[in-house]
């Protein structure tokens, strides 16, 4: 009845559709070109990549097992992310998540994560109040349904540690605020049985610093040993 009164239309072409992106428009979104760095998922350009690893990842510490994303940061893809995050279009998470599920199912390394649970990258409580939702949590929920996985929202938290110098101006304090991720104390005792493998979900992978920080926080929890990162977009600089 509701569908008849208010039919869902595709965000891009305006045609009536099952989700807010029709299959044709979802398929037309610009994908990450192959080959990719088997660690961070970035496209590897030129010939003979060194051991399937991009220059940025060579010799770097590897707090997560691997990262993958279906989409590149084209103008259209970033516009969809912008609407999802800032234009009150939370319904786009369910429309875009099938692209992430497809990439996950095509990832050979994912076979070790058959028992993994999905954990979204948390946002700060202030941002949660302002936006009303966490876009990563919406993607995680949609992905949980598609991959038939459990989603755990509250393993790690995102905090903003304010500079203690109270005489600084508000703008200066904001600039000095450091963002950090930490495990919820309730899980650090190791008394709760947790899966050893986690799929960390976020909307965009840019430098990987968020994924690295979250992975370290997750691995500080007894029992968690492996973290795979799955985002919707991977920002490619070349
Ligand atoms: Zn369409
Ligand atoms: Zn890489």
Report the C-alpha gap between 42 and 67 in whole angstroms.
9
Residue 222 and residue 188 in contact, taking contact as beta carbons nearer than 8 Å = yes
Q: How far is the CA of 231 from the centre of ligand 1 (A)?
A: 22
Look at residue 174 in the predicted model and tell me its pLDDT: 56
Q: Tokens representing 168?
A: 């600084």
Q: How far is the CA of 182 from the centre of ligand 2 (A)?
A: 25
- pLDDT digit string, tens, across residues 12-69: 999 999 999 999 999 999 999 989 999 999 998 776 556 678 888 988 899 999 999 9
Q: Tokens representing 226?
A: 């492996």
Residues 6+ apart with CB under 8 A from 5: none
Residue 26 and residue 68 in contact, taking contact as beta carbons nearer than 8 Å = no
Is pLDDT above 90 for 236? no
Report the C-alpha gap between 215 and 182 in whole angstroms.
10
Look at residue 167 in the predicted model and tell me its pLDDT: 55
Q: How far is the CA of 141 from the centre of ligand 2 (A)?
A: 27
Q: How far is the CA of 27 from the centre of ligand 2 (A)?
A: 25
Look at residue 238 in the predicted model and tell me its pLDDT: 58
Report the C-alpha gap between 30 and 233 in whole angstroms.
10
Look at residue 105 in the predicted model and tell me its pLDDT: 97
Is pLDDT above 60 for 76? yes
180 membership: H or E segment, kind and range: strand 178-183
For the domain 32-234, what is the CATH code?
3.40.50
The three-class DSSP label of residue 118 is strand
- pLDDT digit string, tens, across residues 107-160: 999 999 999 999 999 999 888 899 999 999 999 999 999 999 999 998 999 987
Residue 204: φ, ψ to 5°: -130, 140
Q: Which ligand ends up closest to the CA of 28?
A: 1
Q: How far is the CA of 98 from the centre of ligand 1 (A)?
A: 15
* Total-model pTM: 0.90
The domains of the chain are located at 32-234
């Amino acid at each position: 009845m509701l569908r008849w009164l208010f039919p869902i239309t595709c965000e891009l072409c305006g045609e009536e559709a099952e989700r807010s992106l029709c299959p044709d428009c979802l398929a037309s979104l610009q994908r990450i070109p192959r080959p990719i760095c088997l660690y961070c998922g970035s496209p590897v350009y030129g010939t003979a990549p060194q051991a399937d690893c991009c220059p940025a990842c060579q010799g770097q510490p590897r707090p997560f097992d691997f990262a993958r994303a279906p989409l590149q940061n084209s103008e259209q893809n970033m516009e969809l992310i912008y609407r999802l995050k800032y234009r009150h279009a939370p319904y786009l998470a369910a429309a875009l998540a099938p692209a992430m599920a497809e990439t996950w199912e095509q990832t050979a390394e994912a076979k070790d994560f058959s028992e993994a649970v999905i954990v979204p990258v948390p946002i700060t409580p202030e941002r949660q109040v302002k936006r009303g939702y966490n876009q990563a949590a919406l993607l995680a929920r949609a992905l949980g349904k598609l991959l038939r996985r459990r989603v755990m929202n509250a393993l790690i938290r995102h905090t903003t540690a304010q500079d203690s110098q109270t005489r600084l101006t508000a703008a200066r304090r904001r600039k000095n605020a450091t963002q950090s991720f930490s495990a919820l104390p309730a899980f650090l005792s190791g008394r709760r049985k947790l899966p050893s493998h986690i799929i960390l979900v976020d909307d965009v992978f840019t430098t990987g610093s968020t994924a690295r920080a979250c992975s370290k926080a997750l691995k500080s929890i007894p029992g968690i040993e492996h973290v795979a990162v799955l985002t919707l977009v991977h920002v490619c600089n070349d």
